[in-house]
Each structure stands twice: as structure tokens, then as C-alpha cells.
Structure 1
Amino acid sequence: MKKLEQDFYDRSDVLKISKELLGKVLVTKFGQRLTAGRIVETEAYAGEIDRASHAWGGRRTNRTEVMYGAGGTAYVYLCYGIHQMFNVVTNQQGIPHAILVRAAEPLEGIDIMLERTGKKQLDFTLTKGPGNVGKAFGFHTRHTGLSLLRDELFIADDGYLVKKADLLATPRIGVDYAGDDAALPYRFIIRDNPYVSGKKIGLVKKEK
């Protein structure tokens, strides 16, 4: 595997990066406990112009300040007081783009993932949905601000290619509060992967 480098994250097109993260391998090694999984679902958030983004309208708080930092940084926030949601900060410093990793296919450390999630055996719910990704990979809000170039947290390319016909775009999930922006096709999935979250969708947009 080759660790993604800084220039991968520094680019301005958050949608393109979201698509290119599909098929890449997310790796955590927290407390010397290695877990890895192939990313199969992402959601893009386009910063200050995106009503679904935590940074919409230029909002800056202690929680969102990391989004304004350097690309290639982890943004982990707590959702509903339970779920640790892992996001990848992208673009240049001062532009708060971020990508939520919504699902991954487990590759390494499955026994650790089972322990963290309280499951007794592997099934597709282990890393389906961003809350489960957070649990299985050991994410916590204290990891906010970590560089994705470190040995304890990184994303890598192992040569896996997603076929164009299998890369699909849909509206994001759970952002009804965002008005018209809720309908934007900013969620990207690998077709028919059983770890993809949400209900099966009949008509989706194929990416070119």
C-alpha cells in the first residue's frame, strides 16, 4: 500500500476527492491496535456555500475550526452524543471542505472491530454507516486535528480500482435541514457493496 500524500488532499474539488477516496484503504493504529478497511461510501461537504456543512455561512466554532486548517487532517465530531464521525479535511488552509467516511469494508483487525462495537460475529453492519465506522476504527473526538500522513492514521492506495459503472452518486443522508442543498448528489458509493449504508436506491446517477 502507498500512503496518500499531502497533494491528494490539498486540491480544490471536494467532489472529485470524495469519488477518489472510494476504494482506498483507511488505516488506524491507535494504541498499537491495527484496523484497516476499504472505503465504500463518502459524502462531500463544500464548506461555507453548503447549507449541510458545519461551516456553512462561515461558521467558526471550537469544533469546526479544524475544517479551516490544512487539508489531510482528521475532523472527528460527536453526533447525537453517541457516534464519533470521521471526516477528512481537504483543500487549502482557510477553505473548510470536508468529506465524511460513511462506510468501509473490513480488511484487517476484524477481531478488534468486533470488540469495539460489541458484536459477536462479523456481518455487514460492522462498518456500515459513519457511526459504526467511528466505533470499529477506534475514532474519538480527541483525534480531531491529527494529520492523515501519520503512521497511526492514514489512507492508502493498494491499487484497487473502482469501475466507472460502479461509482454512483446520490443525495446525502440525514441533511434535510439543508433545504435545496439536501438534494445535491454529494454522496458517493460503490454499487452493490453490502457495507454501503442507507436504503437501497432504485435510480441513482452514474459518474462519468
Structure 2
Amino acid sequence: MLDKKEQIYPYPYGQPLPPSIYTGTALESAPRLLGQTLVRCTEDGEIRCKIVETESYGGKEDKGSHAYGARRTARTETMFQAGGTCYVYLIYGMYHCVNVVTSYENDPQAILIRAVEPLTSRDAELMQLYRGKIPGGKPANLSNGPGKLCRALRIDKSLNGCQLNHLDGPLYLELGENSSNLPIVQAPRINIPYAEEYASKPWRFYIEGNPYVSVVDKKALTIK
């Protein structure tokens, strides 16, 4: 049983994100999501994590996006919904990835959440329970990648389409740290060589120095 002091979060919770994060483009909102809190409600309790790495996928023109060329399929339909919707997809037939849809209806913008950090030891314990044995024994391997964090938070396609801006759902976003106070850097996105000239766009953002970041780029540019 955890001591009550261990269950106190580093800042008040239960506050919604500014609506402008959901209505902005993915490129505008991706760095603003850093420091915010991703909340997963399970039968074992709530799990809260700080978002430490994001990737922006900018809609119809972005060759790295599932919706490039306004491709509208059963898989991508969620991306065409209004900002605040959760987009979950499966890669390699085994790993789920979770995204925050932004902008307005019919403008397919999405932000991939690439890495999160549990806020307390209680959160880490629940994530460990769901994730199983962590390769290498490194604590950050719990959730330092999009597939890893989805396993640790029990995120799968059953959550596709849920509203992340509703604080009473199974998965949602809360106000956390002020991103303008964080050391944020930007670098090219990961594993999208098919995106041609869009593969090198510096549309990945992360908190510099955070151990949960999936890939550190020595050439990353500081933006804050």
C-alpha cells in the first residue's frame, strides 16, 4: 500500500487544456502538449503521465501522414474529426500508437504522443503491472516510445475516437506544466523514410534532458 504522500501529484489536477491546443494545427500544438498530463482510467485506478515527446503530422500535404492527399479510409476517418479526438492505430500488427487530433473537422491534423513519464511511483507501479518486464531494467524503458507507452497504459483501438478533451472519459488530457517554461527542442521525425522531402522536417518535439525521451538527436534545435 502506498503512503498518501506518494499519491500527491506535483501540481493540481482536474483542469482542462486551453481549447486553442485542440483547434491549432498539429505543428502549432505539438510543442504545447509537452508537459501536459495524459490520464488513463482503469479498473485499478487512474494513471497520470507527463507528455515529454510528440510528433506532428500536418494533414493533407504531409507525405508522412496517414491522411496525405486527403486519404479518407476506415483507418483515417478519425483524423478528419474535430480537434480533441483520440486517434489510435496499430503498426507492425502488434503495437498501438496514440495521437491527439487537432484543428477543425475535415482538416486531418494529428499529434503522435511518442513518450510519457509517470508522475508518481503509484503511476509507475500500475504501468509496470500492465507493461510487464522492462527490457534492460532501465526505468525509462517503461514508456519511452509510442508502442511502449500504449502497452503501459492499456491503450488500444477500443479507445479510437474517444474525446480527450472530456475529463470523464477512459483517456483524456489535463493541464500540467506550462510548456513555455520547459527546455523544448525540435528534430526530424522518426522512421518515416517514405515521406520523401517531408521525412527531414523538424516536426518532432521533446523536453531536453528528460530521460523518457525515445531518441535524442544531437543536432536538435532549441526552440525554448
Q: Smaller-chain TM-score range?
A: over 0.9
Once the two structures are superposed, what CA deviation does each residue of 1:77-124 show, in whole Å capped at 9, x if it has no partner? 011111110000000000000000000111142222111111267711
Partner of 1:10: 23
CA gap 1:52/1:161 in 2 versus in 1, 3 angstroms: closer
Question: Could you say what the CA RMSD is over the residues aligned between the two structures, in angstroms?
Answer: 1.7
Whole-angstrom distance in 2 between the partners of 1:129 and 1:205: 21
Shift of 1:180: 0.6
Q: Secondary structure at the match of 2:74?
A: coil
Partner of 2:71: 59
Aligned letter for 1:4? Answer: L
Shift of 1:31: 3.3
Identity %: 38
Partner residue of 1:196 out of 199, 208, 213: 213
Q: Which has the larger radius of gyration?
A: 2
Determine if contact 1:167/1:188 at 8 Å carries over to the other structure: yes
Partner of 2:35: 23
CA gap 1:159/1:173 in 2 versus in 1, 3 angstroms: closer
Partner of 2:181: 163
Whole-angstrom distance in 2 between the partners of 1:10 and 1:194: 30
Using the TM superposition, name which of 98-107 and 110-119 deviates more. Answer: 110-119
Determine if contact 1:4/1:154 at 8 Å carries over to the other structure: no
Aligned letter for 2:143? Answer: T
More strand by share: 1
Partner of 1:106: 118
Whole-angstrom distance in 2 between the partners of 1:190 and 1:87: 18
Determine if contact 2:32/2:179 at 8 Å carries over to the other structure: no
Aligned letter for 1:171? Answer: P
CA gap 1:162/1:117 in 2 versus in 1, 3 angstroms: farther
Q: Secondary structure at the match of 1:183?
A: coil
CA gap 1:32/1:116 in 2 versus in 1, 3 angstroms: closer
Q: Secondary structure at the match of 2:113?
A: strand
Shift of 1:162: 5.0
TM-score (norm 1): 0.92
* Aligned: 1:147 with 2:147: no
Whole-angstrom distance in 1 between the partners of 2:128 and 2:138: 7
CA gap 1:161/1:91 in 2 versus in 1, 3 angstroms: closer
Unaligned runs of 5+ in 2: 1-12
Using the TM superposition, name which of 155-164 and 89-98 deviates more. Answer: 155-164
Partner of 1:180: 197
Q: Secondary structure at the match of 2:104?
A: coil
Shift of 1:138: 1.2
Unaligned runs of 5+ in 1: none
Determine if contact 1:170/1:205 at 8 Å carries over to the other structure: yes
